[in-house]
């Protein structure tokens, strides 16, 4: 996977290692020292460095053999002047990784189970003012990139899909939510399933798209938001408590 050293990506790494039947490679800027396993390789790579990125992909396939699933989590958390870098991290690195693995015939033969999963966001279609412009454009680009590659790679047996989370209480953010109970309460009130998302919820969706159960699904974007985006915005406004 590209990214995967924190948040949902780290949760997926731990889940796969717990299963005990998956070799896992993680490419990211800073390896996470909290996870170690003989079935895990971590590569410290700036994914905007094309040579380093492609080299790490080759090292991974040399060590573990053909790839069955690739999951993309990477994100550049930039300042106001980091738009170009954010695009290079989210979109450029994704494109180069996919193109390189396909060109090298790195996916397992036989098709069926080969899967690419891009982690996008509901910000690919809605605007979240607390997030910068590059986040929105990158997520929208990932969703369209998934559709493009699904069409292009389908004939060679590779499926490409997106997962788009909404509010997820990641481990790194638990202290923030503990200090802002009002936000947790609002999530319970406005999300139809009555709670914030957990990393495990997103991991489950990714595992579904990576597995044989989804063997006839490609080019799709599964929204994992507890039903929040089902309601009209006007309806949500009516439920906000009055301040009078």
pLDDT bucket at 111, cuts 50 / 70 / 90: low
E strands in the chain: 24-28, 40-44, 69-72, 115-119, 159-165, 221-224
List pLDDT tens digits, range 146-172.
999 999 999 999 999 999 999 898 888
Q: Which residues are catalytic?
A: 135
pTM: 0.92
Ramachandran area for residue 143 (φ above 0: left; ψ -120 to 50: alpha; else beta): alpha
Q: How far apart are CA 172 and CA 15, in angstroms?
A: 17
Average pLDDT, the chain: 92
List pLDDT tens digits, range 12-63.
999 999 998 889 999 999 999 999 999 999 999 999 999 999 999 999 999 9
Neighbouring C-alpha atoms within 13 Å toward the C-beta of 212: 1
What is the percentage of the chain residues whose pLDDT exceeds 70?
A: 97
More reliable by pLDDT, 39 or 173: 39
């Amino acid at each position: 996977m590209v990214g995967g050293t924190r948040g949902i990506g780290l949760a997926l790494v731990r889940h796969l290692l717990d299963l005990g039947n998956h070799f896992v490679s993680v490419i990211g800027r800073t390896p996470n020292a909290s996870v170690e396993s003989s079935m895990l390789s971590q590569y410290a790579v700036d994914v905007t460095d094309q040579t380093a990125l492609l080299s790490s992909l080759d090292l991974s396939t040399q060590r573990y053999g053909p790839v069955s699933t690739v999951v993309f989590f990477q994100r550049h958390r930039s300042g106001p002047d980091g738009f170009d870098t954010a695009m290079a991290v989210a979109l450029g690195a994704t494109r180069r990784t996919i193109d390189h693995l396909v060109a090298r015939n790195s996916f397992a033969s036989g098709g069926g189970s080969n899967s690419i999963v891009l982690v996008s966001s509901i910000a690919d279609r809605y605007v979240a003012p607390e997030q910068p412009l590059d986040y929105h454009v990158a997520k929208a680009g990932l969703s369209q990139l998934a559709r493009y590659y699904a069409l292009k790679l389908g004939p060679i047996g590779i499926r490409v899909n997106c997962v788009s989370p909404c509010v997820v209480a990641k481990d790194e953010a638990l202290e923030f939510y503990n200090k802002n109970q009002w936000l947790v309460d609002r999530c319970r009130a406005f999300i139809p399933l009555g709670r914030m998302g957990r990393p495990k919820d997103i991991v489950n969706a990714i595992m579904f798209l990576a597995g044989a159960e989804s063997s006839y699904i490609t080019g799709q974007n599964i929204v994992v938001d507890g039903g929040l985006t089902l309601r009209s915005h006007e309806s949500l406004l009516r439920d906000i408590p009055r301040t009078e």
